[in-house]
Amino acid sequence: MKIKSIAHAVIMTAGLVFGGMPSQAQQAGGSLVFLVQPEPPTMAGYISTSGPIGLLAPKIYESLFDYDNAGKIVPILAETFEASTDGKTITFNLRKGVTWHDGKPFTSADVQFTIMEVLKKVHPRGPNTFKEVSSIDTPDAHTAVLNLDHPAPYILRALSAYESPMVPKHLLEGKDIKSAELGNNPVGTGPFKFTEWNKGQYIRLDKNENYWKDGSPYIDRIVGRFIPDASTRAAAMEKGEVLYGAYNAIANIDAVRLEKLDNIAVTTDGYSMINPMALIEFNTKEGPFTDAAVRRAISTAIDRQFMIDTIFFGYGKPASSALSSNFSATGLYAKMPNYPENGDIAAANKMLDAAGYAKDANGVRMNGVLDLIPYGEDWRRAGEYLKQAMGDIGIAIELRYEDVPTWLNRIYGNYDFEMNLNYFYQLSDPVLGVHRHYGTDMIRKGTHFVNASRYSNPNIDKLLAAGMTEPNAEKRAVIYNQVQTVLADDMPVVNLLELEFLTIYNTKLKGAYGSAMGSYSSFSDAYLED
């Protein structure tokens, strides 16, 4: 865990209590009100990986496993699993006595349906994650056997509730999954049941009295509030009207002030399975940025360290490749050219001169529009800096900031954009979080947070396929080095920052961070202390 704050010693102490197991018996009762920013477009985490969905849906839906902060598997709907010696079958022994919130039993048929008919077909990352799954056998109600074309150990790391929520077959079978009513009235097996969605105001979840885990949950109610204005969100946290804000729901500039209060703590813990990366996506098929030389110049001009220091208050580090440096431990990451930490305006101008883009009398080479992810003030501020940096190399930029549904439809529904400031989760393996940017088969119009650039390179497709199935670590590292080399030249996506998200919480909230998924966990063990 990495914590940087003005009140370092105080926050360290509070963060350890927050992140570890409760030191006393959990208290039952109470309502947990926390920020959800912005309002999610749906509660169907199986068709969209929009960040706000993850704050609530994993409290309703569960998957086969969770992961603790050390990365170890924690059994949830699967009590145990066993892989064959050749790695081509994985047998899951499912928990007995689990019911959906409508009282129907959870069985292996739900696992089969979820993976084969939902995740493989409509989930943004599922077609890639579960590509090697050819079939699922269900010899009995509590056994599910995944049959694989090739070994795919990364699959286990995708079986969290955020990434692969199990859904009720009896409520989705035979229906249009993308438009099914379940998206607005979710039914899961988790510790909290969906109760109410007051559009523009809040989503309410109530305690599942029939939850399979004895004694859990402890909290009676969770209310996710939508507060569009950043200063109002900060004021609500300060007054104790909300007790929890994650994924920079509280702007970093306000977090610095709030962390000085005795009842407020700040932590970066709980994001180890997320691996977030801020980036610019380019439309590579039409508009002013179809030339890779222009995209490389933009990447070269950006002062990433400045963005970290001034916009994100030191939380994060400059990106230096298509893969996060967090993959260094596995040997997959390699630092690439065209990613200067502090930017190089002179070099970027020379690159554009050489590519034949002359400046007019006003010093402008081309015009463009940068769409900003509508997730708060930090992204607006980042957009203002990027506008300035690109202006320094003769690219005149207009910033566009729209509501979430409009933005999602523009970027992923209509491809009606030139540049898009966004952030993506690279997750715990490149197959899970990186491939979706670059594979030709991930150009899936209408699917959120996949290859909106419409980048297609047969060589990259071949390398990604090889990286997915290569069991040898050294050979896999060579493959991904080649991937990064090609992408540093083509640059369909400019990675900007390896982010560290902040969670701000009232210290009366305990036991909320036993999972490596952090805010995207179930909160089954969370409780409120008087």
pLDDT of 8: 29
Q: Is the pLDDT of residue 299 over 70?
A: yes
Q: How far is CA 337 from the centre of its chain?
A: 26
In the predicted structure, residue 429 carries a pLDDT above the cut 80 = yes
For 476-505, what is each residue's pLDDT tens digit?
Answer: 999 999 999 999 999 999 999 999 988 999
In this prediction, residues 149-169 reach a mean pLDDT of 94
Strands 65-67, 73-75: parallel, antiparallel or unpaired by DSSP? Answer: antiparallel
State what percent of residues in the chain have pLDDT above 90: 86
What number is the average pLDDT over the span 141-157? 95
Give the residue range(s) of CATH 3.90.76.10 domains in the chain.
Answer: 65-172
- 88, 92, 121, 392 from 149: Cα distances, Å: 6, 18, 17, 51
Mean pLDDT value across residues 35-57? 94
**Mean pLDDT over residues 271-285, rounded?**
93
Q: What is the pTM of this model?
A: 0.86
What pLDDT, on a 0 to 100 scale, did the predictor assign at position 447? 93
**Rounded distance, CA 32 to CA 27, Å?**
13
Query: Would the pLDDT of 57 be above 60?
Result: yes
Cα–Cα dist 52/157, whole Å: 21
Each residue's pLDDT tens digit, 391-407:
999 999 999 999 999 99
Which CATH class, in words, describes the domain spanning 65-172?
Answer: alpha beta
List residues bridging with 35 in a β-sheet: 225
Residue 306: how many other CB atoms lie within 10 Å: 15
Predicted local distance difference test score (pLDDT) of residue 352: 98
514: number of Cβ within 10 Å: 22
Which residues make up the CATH 3.10.105.10 domain(s) of the chain? 276-499
Is a pLDDT exceeding 50 seen at residue 2?
no
Confidence of residue 10 (pLDDT cuts 50, 70, 90): very low
> Which percentage of the chain shows pLDDT scores above 70?
95
Q: Where are the domain boundaries for CATH 3.40.190.10 in the chain?
A: 8-58+179-270+502-528
Specify burial of residue 217 (Cβ count, 10 A radius: 0-12, 13-18, 19+): buried
Quickly list DSSP for 462-492. Answer: HHHHHHHH---HHHHHHHHHHHHHHHHHH-S
Average pLDDT estimate for 114-123: 97
325, with CB counted inside 10 A (0-12, 13-18, 19+), is: middle
What pLDDT score was predicted for residue 25? 67
pLDDT of residue 467 exceeding 70: yes
DSSP-assigned states of every residue in 176-215: -TTT-GGGTS---SSSEEEEEEETTTEEEEEE-TT-SSTT
Q: In the CATH scheme, what is the homologous superfamily, with its name and number, of domain 276-499?
A: Dipeptide-binding Protein; Domain 3 (3.10.105.10)
Task: Please say whether the structural domain 8-58+179-270+502-528 has been given the CATH code 3.40.50.300.
Answer: no
